[in-house]
């Protein structure tokens, strides 16, 4: 009696695994041909170095149109901490002051409208010096409730 039950369970398990694999394959195929933004995150290898040479190598891969280095860097002020984040076109924040250019310059930043009770709108259009970074130009501020 046990052998037929085990055979039936094995058959059902094999069929379920086949259906799941086919569904995953179809989903993967649909994602590859979708028209949406496609972004791949590349992290440093075991040696911990994501060097310009490695970024250039990734940029030469077929289908890669642009490499955007993204890293977390602290811009510490006397009373609050800002963390930088590279935005992609799909992550445009809700701008509440200034304007978001099509492409940010190397020293352009977009800040939250308020940080720790400090209103940063007054810095739009101005260069702001940070303690551990060169002066950056605030081109826009966004609603601080927004999260990328």
Segment 55-87, tens digit of pLDDT? 888 888 888 887 776 654 444 445 455 666 666
Nearest to 111 by CA among 71, 78, 79, 146: 146
Query: For residue 125, what is the DSSP state?
Result: T
Burial level of 15, CB count in 10 A (0-12/13-18/19+)?
exposed
29 and 75 assigned to the same domain: no
What average pLDDT does the chain have? 71
- According to the model, what pLDDT value does residue 74 have? 45
136 and 74 assigned to the same domain: yes
CB atoms within 10 A of CB 139: 21
Q: Is residue 120 part of a domain?
A: yes
Q: Is residue 8 part of a domain?
A: yes
pTM: 0.46
Q: Range of 28's domain?
A: 1-34
Burial level of 111, CB count in 10 A (0-12/13-18/19+)?
buried
According to the per-residue pLDDT averaged within each range, which of 5-9, 108-112, 113-117, 139-143 is highest?
139-143
- According to the model, what pLDDT value does residue 18 have? 57
């Amino acid at each position: 009696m046990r052998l037929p039950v085990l055979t039936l369970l094995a058959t059902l398990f094999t069929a379920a695994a086949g259906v799941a694999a086919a569904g995953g394959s179809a989903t993967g195929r649909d994602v590859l041909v979708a028209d949406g933004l496609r972004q791949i995150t590349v992290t440093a290898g075991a040696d911990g170095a994501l060097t310009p040479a490695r970024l250039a190598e990734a940029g030469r891969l077929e289908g890669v149109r642009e490499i955007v280095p993204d890293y977390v860097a602290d811009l510490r002020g006397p009373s609050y901490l800002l963390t930088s984040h590279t935005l992609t076109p799909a992550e445009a924040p809700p701008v509440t002051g200034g304007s978001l250019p099509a492409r940010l310059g190397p020293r352009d930043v977009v800040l939250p409208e308020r940080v720790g009770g400090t209103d940063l709108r007054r810095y739009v259009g101005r260069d702001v010096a940070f303690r551990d970074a060169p002066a950056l130009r605030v081109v826009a501020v966004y609603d601080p409730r927004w999260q990328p």
